[in-house]
């Protein structure tokens, strides 16, 4: 049997699998299939577009063009020999929390179905799309004719299964050319949340992955040469199985790790007893530029109540202070060591003009107290099947308030994001090890490798794929302008 995994990339509230991240789904599937097949291939939606839309011809990017990120993540020059021999094609797909991606465009069902239609093999749809998918915020799940798929399958590997599967899966990175950040899973489900928009409590019951297994998986990738890791597949890093033990042991067993970051962080557990100690350990053992992404979603108490959000505004503020207290010192790559990031969602139940006022009031307070945020993510909720939000109010508030979203977002970008950015990176700060990612006209965009890296625009073109140290010379709304030093 020849199996092929087609990675169309995934993005969920807990877990990122859009390049440069390699998510858990293709890795685990690879490990699961490896011992059942003669060959398991890993290809990407970029490979498929390159073959089917561009006939395997890449145009030169002239000084007027932008790098074509739809075909940026190729694994090979030509996948047709692979497709000809494929017996079963596993299509890994699903975006639940749509974002903007600098170097990739996730595949949608609408896009991928016509592209695989004439491939003669069995086709299985897998990944978060099992629960619905939507690449654009503010919309219901994609509705498409799925009859092309022989099966729709959710591989519900237990942590016991993953002991072997996750290690068998590490060889997948031998088939990937570009650098990769390995997204590591530390737990499933959510121990507190019943947030109205979220699919995590629907997908999984809360369970932590054994810390020894997490360590073994990281070590296995490290031994193959991987140096960039994010422990990002979990609802809350502070609630995982002995986080301090884990961080300490990763550092001692993988001493040359370059990036070790985390992601989702529940403010409730940051302020709880023991939270200070975990924060200090994250600062000590992780690399700089680290972000604890707080799912605040809204500072409006009425919205918090109506959507059973996990953190009350007061608790979120206290958690922001704690991360700033221990993590705001500048680290060796030029970024503060560990800062909070905030997620704000538009379109939740009971959203009103007052919601924006509450958000602005809280964000202004953060500024006035001299605190820092690494970033504020603002998005319109996607309405996924079976979530309480979809089942109760659906798109009622999205429709009602849509006319304000540009204004609300712009208010935050102009009056909060931009001044906070200047505080975060005063002019003259040097950011080290920024990789050149894409061109847009006569500008090169670079970023550091890791979680929520800042985008830095540099005038002129520097060679892509190479690392540079950049001095900050100016600011855009959410990004910065730098020059090579």
Burial (CB count within 10 angstroms: exposed 0-12, middle 13-18, buried 19+), residue 411: middle
Nearest approach in angstroms of CB 343 to ligand SF4 is: 9
Question: Which residues in the 282-321 window bind ligand SF4 by CB under 6 A?
Answer: 295, 310
Which of the ranges 79-87, 192-200, 316-324, 456-464 carries the binding residues for ligand SF4, by CB under 6 A? 192-200
Whether residue 303 contacts residue 351, with contact meaning beta carbons closer than 8 Å, is answered with yes
Please, what is the minimum distance in Å from the beta carbon of residue 13 to ligand SF4?
A: 5
**In the stretch 253-282, what mask flags binding to ligand SF4 with x, by CB under 6 A?**
-------------x----------------
- Residue 181 tokens read as 């950040």
* Of 90 and 237, CB closest to ligand SF4: 237
Q: Count the alpha carbons within 13 Å of 127 in the hemisphere toward its beta carbon.
A: 33
Residue nearest to ligand SF4 (CB): 193
Residue 190, interface with ligand SF4 (CB under 6 A)? Answer: yes
DSSP label at 73? -
- Per DSSP, the three-state class of 372 is coil
Site string for ligand SF4, 196-235 (x = CB under 6 A): --x-xx---------------------------------x
Which CB, 40 or 198, lies closer to ligand SF4? 198
Question: Closest CB to ligand SF4 among 198 and 366?
Answer: 198
Smallest gap from Cβ 121 to ligand SF4, in A, equals 36
Q: Do 383 and 394 touch, CB atoms closer than 8 A?
A: yes
Least distance between ligand SF4 and beta carbon 233 (Å): 11
Give min distance, CB of 170 to ligand SF4, in A. Answer: 27
**Could you tell me the smallest distance in angstroms from the CB atom of residue 263 to ligand SF4?**
11
Q: Nearest distance from residue 301's CB to ligand SF4, in Å? A: 17
User: How far, in Å, CA of 125 to CA of 151, rounded?
Assistant: 6
Enumerate residues 6+ apart whose C-beta is below 8 A from 459.
442, 443, 481, 483
**Shortest distance (Å) from residue 401 CB to ligand SF4:** 20
Question: How many CB atoms are closer than 10 A to CB 246?
Answer: 22
Distance, CA of 77 to chain centre? 27
- State yes or no: residue 17 binds ligand SF4 (CB under 6 A): no
Nearer to ligand SF4, 198 or 291 (CB): 198
Closer by beta carbon to ligand SF4, 14 or else 126: 14
Half-sphere exposure of 244 (CA within 13 A, CB side): 8
Query: Smallest distance, Å, CB 201 to ligand SF4?
Result: 5
For the CB of residue 143, give the shortest distance to ligand SF4 in the complex, in Å.
Answer: 24
Query: Are residues 47 and 55 in contact, defined by beta-carbon separation less than 8 angstroms?
Result: no
Task: List b or e across 442-470, with b for residues whose CB sees 16 or more CB atoms inside 10 angstroms.
Answer: eebbbbbbbbbbbbbbbeeeeebeeebeb
Give the residue from 469, 407, 22 showing the smallest Cα distance to 230: 22
Kindly state the tokens that stand for 462.
């520097």
The answer to whether residue 14 forms part of the interface with ligand SF4 (CB under 6 A) is yes
Q: What are phi and psi of 380, to 5 degrees?
A: -85, 140
- Nearest CB to ligand SF4, comparing residues 268 and 456: 268
| Spatial separation of the C-alpha atoms in residues 464 and 343, rounded to whole Å | 31
> 415-454 mask for ligand SF4 (x: CB under 6 A)?
----------------------------------------
Nearer to ligand SF4, 124 or 195 (CB): 195
Q: Which one of the spans 187-195, 363-371, 383-391, 453-461 is the region binding ligand SF4 (CB under 6 A)?
A: 187-195
Q: Which residues on adjacent β-strands are paired with residue 290? A: 338
**Closest C-alpha to 250, from 280, 292, 217, 206:** 217
For binding to ligand SF4 (CB under 6 A), which residues are involved?
Answer: 13-14, 190, 193, 195, 198, 200-201, 235, 266, 295, 310
């Amino acid at each position: 049997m020849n199996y092929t995994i087609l990675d169309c990339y995934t993005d969920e509230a807990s877990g990122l699998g859009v390049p440069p991240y390699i998510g858990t789904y293709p890795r685990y599937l690879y490990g699961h299939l490896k011992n059942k097949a003669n060959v398991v291939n890993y290809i990407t939606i970029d490979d498929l577009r390159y073959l089917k839309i561009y006939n395997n011809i890449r145009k030169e990017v002239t000084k007027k063009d932008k790098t074509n990120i739809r075909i940026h993540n190729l694994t090979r020059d030509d996948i047709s020999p692979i497709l000809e021999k494929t017996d079963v094609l596993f299509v890994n797909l699903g975006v639940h929390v749509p974002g903007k991606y600098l170097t990739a465009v996730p595949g949608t069902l609408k896009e991928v179905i016509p592209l695989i239609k004439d491939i003669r093999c069995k086709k299985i749809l897998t990944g978060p799309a099992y629960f619905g998918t939507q690449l654009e915020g503010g919309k219901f799940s994609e509705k498409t004719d799925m009859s092309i798929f022989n099966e729709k399958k959710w591989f519900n590997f237990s942590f016991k299964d993953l002991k072997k599967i996750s290690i068998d899966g590490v060889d997948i990175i031998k088939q990937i050319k570009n650098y990769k950040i390995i997204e590591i899973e530390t737990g499933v489900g959510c121990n507190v949340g019943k947030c109205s928009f979220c699919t995590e409590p629907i997908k999984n019951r809360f369970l932590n992955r054994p810390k020894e297994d997490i360590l073994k998986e990281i070590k296995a990738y490290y031994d193959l040469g991987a140096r960039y890791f994010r422990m990002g597949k979990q609802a809350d890093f502070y609630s995982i199985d002995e986080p301090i033990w884990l961080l300490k042991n990763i550092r001692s067993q993988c001493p040359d790790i370059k990036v070790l970051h985390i992601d989702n962080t529940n403010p409730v557990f940051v302020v709880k007893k023991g939270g200070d100690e975990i924060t200090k350990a994250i600062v000590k053992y992780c690399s700089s530029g680290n972000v604890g992404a707080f799912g605040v979603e809204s500072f409006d108490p009425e919205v918090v109540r109506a959507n059973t959000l996990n953190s009350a505004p007061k608790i979120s503020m206290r958690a922001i202070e704690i991360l700033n207290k221990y993590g705001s010192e500048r680290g060796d790559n030029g970024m503060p060591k560990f800062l909070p990031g905030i997620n704000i969602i538009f379109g939740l139940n009971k959203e009103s003009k007052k919601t924006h006022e509450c958000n602005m009031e809280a964000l202004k307070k953060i500024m006035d107290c001299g605190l820092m945020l690494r970033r504020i993510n603002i998005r319109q909720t996607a309405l996924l099947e079976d979530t309480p939000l979809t089942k109760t109010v659906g798109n009622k508030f999205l429709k009602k308030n849509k006319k304000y979203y540009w204004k609300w977002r712009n208010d935050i970008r102009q009056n909060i994001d931009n001044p906070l950015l200047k505080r975060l990176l005063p002019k003259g700060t040097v950011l080290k090890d920024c990789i050149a990612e894409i061109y847009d006209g006569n500008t090169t965009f670079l970023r550091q490798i890791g979680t929520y890296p800042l985008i830095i625009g540099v005038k002129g073109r520097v060679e892509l794929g190479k690392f540079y140290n950049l001095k900050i010379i100016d600011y855009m709304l959410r990004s910065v302008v730098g020059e090579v030093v």
